[in-house]
Amino acid sequence: MAASFAFSESNGSGETPTDGISNLNMGDNDSANLNVSTYPIVAGNNSYEKNLRAKFGSTFTEISNMKFWKSAGDYVTGEAIKADEVTSYVQPVKTTSTRAVDAIPTEVGSAITVHSAAGGNTITAPGYTRYLCLQLQTTGSTPSGSVNQKTLTFQYDEI
């Protein structure tokens, strides 16, 4: 039997996790499954940080070699997505992140290595990975309106 996989997003001051999110839209609100037309980002501002984790369930022997990167989608002028793996949850902010500080990698060879919640390189029982903190940042030169869609890829090996 194969492992089950879902992305989980955590929000709020006391960490409310939402397993099996339907989108990773970034906007001017700290919530999962965000509607960007309701919570647009004003040019020159940032999105709220996103605290994302992978959740594995069902029956498996081992999950390893976990990697995360942006595999498709162009940026518009003045737009960037910053991301980093972090060990603990902190309430998301929309000021420039001190946790998501590196440009999200765009190739698997430079992808973010993701660890189990306990810090190891493998997951051997149902559970979560560490957090991936992400933030979309814009400048005053970012055009108004929707930005281009991006594909963020999470890859892993399963035994």
Q: Which residues contact 39 (CB under 8 A, 6 or more apart)?
A: 27, 28, 29, 31
Structural domains in the chain?
3-158 (2.60.40)
Per-residue confidence band for 134, with pLDDT thresholds at 50, 70 and 90: very high
Q: Assign 145 a pLDDT band (cuts: 50, 70, 90).
A: confident
- Of the candidates 149, 112, 134, 148, which has an alpha carbon nearest to the alpha carbon of residue 46? 134
Q: Where do we find the tokens 């281009």?
A: 148
Mention every residue, 6+ apart, whose C-beta is less than 8 A from residue 34: 23, 25, 26, 27
Please give the share of the chain, as a percent, with pLDDT higher than 70. Answer: 100
**Residue 21: pLDDT above 90?**
yes
Give the list of residues 6+ apart from residue 101 with CB closer than 8 angstroms, or none. 82, 84
Strands 151-158, 50-58: pairing kind: unpaired
